């Protein structure tokens, strides 16, 4: 006589059943896909035009999000002031374009091109310096203390930078002179990419490639990665931790500066533009997996598309009144259900 | 990164001291209680250097309301060490609960529950304001639990950003919810007004001479002031007793070292959720009371700035220190309401400077936050335990060192 084997393995497989939340999540994603498909079929031209807008704003978000991710990667600090650095540098860029280079009257392509490159370089240098000084003044002394201390200091810094913008530029909106034509650069099947949108994408791509190269392949990048992993060990290996962190802030600031110029080419800005955009960009960084460079870029693009689709699609879109709620809803959902983000790795949390 | 643990069982010297704390407290309370009388008799016409004049009684009411909220926020940030950047959401929930339950907003129905000073024929829901305060506190506490349950598992800075998200979503919802499938929930940007004011009804008016309704009384602002003061005392009392209770000690244990607290059997989720709910409770009461004082709930008031403003009070006063928060709340709200504009006027008239102080108020708060963090992270009146944590370090910073790559 033989004893029957106990049905133990079955119990285990039953436990792996998908739980209610992930089913709901999948359903939600399906509804979104269906909504996009309905819009695509109804009016493909509109759909792709909106998608191009999403690509452009998404590029700007990606640049700002990279700054958040770089700083978070190295200090585990949400640098609240980053969005305001972005706004201030955008405003400074408008001054450089109008007052310093006097670009508002010119029409020659070479002058405009050189002027833009010059503006970009100056603004990036300005924003980098500003961001590094914020770190030097506000965060460096707090490094050994409970992390909340530095975070609160960052909130304070954000308001200080915002008020510097307010003091210099007052409450008026600023915009760039119409330098780049809104004529279509190319048209495919009724969908046209205008020059001013194309420029944004054209500037973003080399910046991203340069950044990846810098972090992956240079000695300074190696130092950054080492410092991010373990500051004490990095210091023991002869890395100047203070300088590396300063360099990270310089880099993040330069990205914010470039994003400021690109944003200014598209939209109007004023002193408080950076606050909301900063939060959106931070959402993008979290969405992609904070501390992950590719993730920040992906997250920025996704958020850009979400915003554009929400505001631009004709059928069943909630409209711009709800953009903020949707973006923050995504942020909360991501943090609650997948805190490591789309591309991040799951890490133990200490508790 | 400091890894030393703090010796918490230091022997205290038994000593007989003059109870300065009690003396100062009672004197301050007496002054606060008599303030409207003093103001009317004397202070109202008196001028003081730099700030020009004493705060008016209605400014004092606003000061008390904000102190209440700051004391509520102190439970979350100060006791439990959970950074909440969206406290304004609770203020909004409280204010709108008052709007729904004590105004003519819902014209479809006519419900009167013990309402005083409201004509019997008025449509809408009119519940007695004192009851509304309790209900608002409860609803806000429930909102706190709802926000807390999914989010409190997150680490410190993620929690901050999620609360910030809620603090942004709720005001936007309020602004847009005037047409939810044809139903007008919040009256959009116009806000809900007028909201009923508190009162004691006919019976108490006849027997004790208490006013039927604050709104119809000649001493409206003074009545609001005294009831706000009573609410504040209640809040402070609860806050102090909570701090010394089993729950309060659990909060502080979590703040100092989450892992050790969990190992000692503190249920993390339940304790943190309780901190959220109780912190929200007082925020809700204060919000409802403030809405009643102003006579309306308007969406233009619920901005991130308010959250930072409240946080600034908690930091300036000293995280976890109730008396510090009260002092800082009084100072900052006064500056916000009257002080900064008076100061700016004085600066522009008496000195060669030309500077709009009030325009840069949030820059000033930002500077206060940063300077406090840099030079005196323990706050104006430090709480002893918090002071030791900051000076000697806690075990948390090494645990937070888990990298997120």
At B97-111, the pLDDT tens digits run 998 888 888 877 888
- Pick among B374, B386, B393 to test the A interface (most A CBs inside 10 A): B374
Residue A50 in any domain: the answer is no
Beta partners for A332? none
What pLDDT score does B8 carry?
53
Residue B38 in any domain: the answer is no
Instruction: Inform me whether the pLDDT recorded for B336 exceeds 80.
Output: yes
Cβ contact, residue pair A166, B396, below 8 Å: no
What pLDDT score does A18 carry?
61
3-class secondary structure, B297: strand
Q: Report the domain count for chain A.
A: 1
Instruction: Inform me whether the pLDDT recorded for A126 exceeds 90.
Output: yes
Residue B289 in any domain: the answer is yes
Residue A341 in any domain: the answer is no
**Residue numbers of B between 352 and 371 with CB closer than 8 Å to A:** 359-360, 362-363, 365-370
Closest C-alpha among A231, A285, A251 to residue A74:
A231
Residue B35 in any domain: the answer is no
Q: What is the CATH number of the domain that holds B300?
A: 1.10.3470
Query: What is the C-alpha separation between B350 and B50, in angstroms, rounded?
Result: 9
Instruction: Tell me the percentage of chain A whose pLDDT exceeds 70.
Output: 93
| Mean pLDDT taken over chain B | 83
Flag the least confident range among A82-86, A160-164, B256-260: B256-260
pLDDT in tens, A103-114: 777 777 788 888
Select from B165, B176, B308 the Cβ nearest to the Cβ of A155. B308
Instruction: Tell me the percentage of chain A whose pLDDT exceeds 90.
Output: 34
What pLDDT score does A315 carry?
75
Confidence of residue B402 (pLDDT cuts 50, 70, 90): very low
Instruction: Inform me whether the pLDDT recorded for A6 exceeds 60.
Output: no
Mean pLDDT of A276-303: 88
Q: Report the domain count for chain B.
A: 1
Give contacts of B367 with chain A, Cβ < 8 Å.
Answer: 156, 159-160
Residue A290 in any domain: the answer is no
Confidence of residue A338 (pLDDT cuts 50, 70, 90): confident
Flag the least confident range among A122-126, A227-231, B68-72: A227-231
Confidence of residue B404 (pLDDT cuts 50, 70, 90): very low
Range of the domain at A125: 58-176+189-271
Mean pLDDT of B19-41: 85
Select from A147, A324, A344 the Cβ nearest to the Cβ of B156. A147
Q: Which residues contact B74 (CB under 8 A, 6 or more apart)?
A: B239, B279, B314, B317, B319, B320, B321, B322, B325
Instruction: Inform me whether the pLDDT recorded for B179 exceeds 80.
Output: no
Mean pLDDT of A172-201: 80
Out of B121-125, B288-292, B304-308, give the one with best mean pLDDT.
B288-292
- Tell me the shortest Cα–Cα distance from A207 to chain B, in angstroms: 22
Residue A26 in any domain: the answer is no
Residue A83 in any domain: the answer is yes
Range of the domain at B83: 50-383
Q: Does A339 touch chain B (CB under 8 A)?
A: yes
Could you give the C-alpha distances from A343 to A27, A99, A294, B342, in angstroms and in order? Answer: 21, 43, 8, 53
What pLDDT score does A29 carry?
83
Q: Which residues contact B237 (CB under 8 A, 6 or more apart)?
A: none
Confidence of residue A64 (pLDDT cuts 50, 70, 90): very high
Residue A210 half-sphere exposure toward CB, CA atoms < 13 A: 11
Confidence of residue B73 (pLDDT cuts 50, 70, 90): very high
Residue B30 in any domain: the answer is no
What pLDDT score does A241 carry?
92
Tokens 């305001």 belong to A84
Mean pLDDT of A46-57: 88
Residue A145 in any domain: the answer is yes
Could you give the C-alpha distances from B221 to A190, B116, B233, B273, B293, in angstroms and in order? Answer: 66, 18, 18, 36, 8
Mean pLDDT of A137-165: 88
What pLDDT score does B393 carry?
60
Instruction: Inform me whether the pLDDT recorded for B308 exceeds 50.
Output: yes
Instruction: Inform me whether the pLDDT recorded for A11 exceeds 60.
Output: no
What pLDDT score does B399 carry?
37
Confidence of residue B66 (pLDDT cuts 50, 70, 90): very high
Q: Are B392 and B6 in contact (CB under 8 A)?
A: yes
What pLDDT score does A16 carry?
53
Residue B190 in any domain: the answer is yes
What pLDDT score does A301 carry?
93
Instruction: Inform me whether the pLDDT recorded for B273 exceeds 60.
Output: yes
Instruction: Tell me the percentage of chain B whose pLDDT exceeds 90.
Output: 30
What pLDDT score does A346 carry?
55
Structure tokens at B265: 């059997």
Sheet holding B124-127, edge to edge: B102-103, B124-127, B110-113
Flag the least confident range among A195-209, B65-79, B218-232, B337-351: B337-351
Residue A316 in any domain: the answer is no
CB count in 10 Å sphere of residue B188: 15
Cβ contact, residue pair B154, A146, below 8 Å: no
Residue B293 in any domain: the answer is yes
Q: Does B378 touch chain A (CB under 8 A)?
A: no
Residue A85 in any domain: the answer is yes
What pLDDT score does B234 carry?
94
Instruction: Inform me whether the pLDDT recorded for B301 exceeds 70.
Output: yes
Flag the least confident range among A94-98, A221-225, B182-186, B258-262: B182-186
Residue B397 in any domain: the answer is no
**Residue numbers of B between 150 and 179 with CB closer than 8 Å to A:** 150-151, 153-158, 160-162, 164-166, 168-169, 172-173, 175-176
Backbone phi, psi, residue A289, to 5°: 110, 105
Residue B179 in any domain: the answer is yes
Q: Are A178 and B381 in contact (CB under 8 A)?
A: no
Confidence of residue B11 (pLDDT cuts 50, 70, 90): low
Query: What is the C-alpha separation between B135 and B130, in angstroms, rounded?
Result: 9
């Amino acid at each position: 006589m033989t004893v029957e084997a106990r049905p133990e393995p079955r119990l285990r497989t039953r436990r792996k059943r998908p739980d209610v939340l992930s089913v709901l999540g999948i359903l939600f994603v399906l509804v979104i896909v269906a909504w996009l498909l309905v819009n695509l079929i109804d009016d493909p031209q509109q759909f792709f035009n909106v998608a191009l807008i999403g690509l452009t704003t998404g590029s700007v978000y990606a640049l700002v999000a990279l700054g958040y991710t770089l700083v978070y990667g190295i200090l585990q600090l949400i640098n609240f002031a980053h969005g305001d650095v972005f706004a201030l540098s955008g405003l400074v860029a408008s001054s450089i374009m109008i007052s310093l280079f006097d670009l508002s009257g010119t029409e020659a392509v070479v002058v405009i091109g050189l002027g833009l490159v010059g503006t970009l370089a100056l603004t990036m240098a300005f924003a980098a310096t500003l961001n590094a000084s914020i770190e030097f003044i506000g965060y460096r002394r707090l490094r050994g203390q409970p992390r909340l201390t530095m975070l609160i200091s960052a909130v304070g810094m954000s308001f200080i930078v915002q008020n510097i913008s307010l003091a210099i530029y007052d409450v008026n909106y600023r915009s760039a002179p119409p330098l780049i034509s809104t004529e279509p650069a190319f048209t495919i099947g009724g969908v046209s990419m205008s020059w001013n949108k194309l420029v944004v994408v054209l500037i973003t791509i080399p910046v991203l490639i340069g950044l990846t190269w810098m972090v992956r392949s240079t000695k300074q990048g190696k130092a950054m990665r080492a410092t991010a992993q373990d500051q004490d060990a990095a210091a023991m290996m002869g890395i100047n931790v203070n300088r590396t962190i300063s360099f990270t802030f310089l880099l993040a600031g330069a990205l914010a500066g470039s994003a400021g110029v690109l944003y200014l080419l598209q939209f109007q800005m004023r002193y408080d533009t950076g606050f909301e955009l900063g939060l959106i960009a931070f959402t993008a960084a979290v969405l992609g997996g904070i501390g992950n460079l590719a993730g920040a870029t992906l997250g920025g693009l996704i958020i850009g598309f979400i915003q554009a689709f929400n505001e631009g699609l004709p059928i069943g879109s909630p409209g711009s009144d709800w953009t903020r709620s949707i973006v923050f809803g995504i942020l909360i959902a991501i943090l609650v259900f997948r805190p490591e983000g789309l591309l991040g790795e799951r890490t133990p949390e200490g508790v | 990164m400091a890894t030393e643990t703090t010796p918490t069982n230091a022997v205290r010297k038994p000593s007989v001291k003059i109870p300065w704390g009690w003396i100062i407290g009672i004197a301050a309370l007496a002054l606060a209680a008599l303030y409207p009388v003093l103001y009317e008799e004397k202070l109202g016409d008196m001028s003081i250097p730099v700030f020009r004049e004493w705060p008016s009684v209605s400014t004092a009411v606003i000061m008390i309301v904000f102190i209440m909220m700051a004391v509520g926020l102190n439970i979350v940030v100060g006791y439990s060490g959970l950074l909440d950047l969206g406290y304004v959401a609770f203020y909004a929930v409280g204010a709108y609960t008052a709007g729904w339950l004590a105004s003519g907003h819902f014209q479809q129905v006519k419900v009167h529950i013990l309402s005083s000073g409201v004509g019997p024929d008025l449509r809408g829901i009119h519940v007695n304001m004192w009851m509304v305060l309790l209900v608002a506190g409860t609803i806000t506490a429930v909102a706190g639990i709802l926000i807390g349950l999914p989010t409190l598992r997150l680490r410190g800075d993620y929690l901050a950003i999620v609360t910030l998200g809620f603090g942004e979503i709720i005001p936007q919802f309020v602004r847009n919810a005037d047409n939810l499938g044809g139903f007008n929930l919040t009256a959009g940007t116009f806000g809900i007004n007028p909201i009923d004011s508190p009162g004691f009804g006919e019976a108490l008016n006849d027997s004790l001479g208490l006013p039927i309704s604050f709104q119809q009384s000649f001493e409206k602002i003074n009545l609001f002031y005294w009831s706000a003061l009573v609410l504040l005392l209640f809040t402070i009392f609860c806050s102090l007793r909570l701090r010394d209770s089993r729950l309060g000690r659990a909060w502080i244990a979590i703040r100092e070292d989450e892992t050790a607290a969990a190992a000692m059997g503190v249920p993390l989720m339940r304790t943190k959720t309780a901190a959220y709910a109780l912190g929200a409770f007082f925020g809700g009461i204060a919000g409802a009371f403030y809405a009643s004082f102003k006579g309306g709930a308007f969406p233009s008031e619920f901005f991130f700035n308010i959250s930072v403003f409240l946080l600034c009070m908690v930091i300036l006063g000293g995280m976890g220190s109730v008396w510090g928060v009260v002092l800082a709340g009084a100072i900052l709200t006064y500056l916000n309401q009257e002080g900064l504009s008076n100061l700016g006027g004085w600066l522009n008239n008496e000195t060669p400077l030309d500077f709009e102080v009030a325009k840069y108020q949030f820059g000033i708060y930002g500077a206060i936050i940063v300077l406090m963090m840099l030079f005196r992270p323990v706050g104006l009146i430090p709480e002893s335990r918090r002071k030791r944590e900051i000076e000697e370090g806690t075990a948390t910073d090494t645990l937070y060192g888990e990298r997120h790559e």
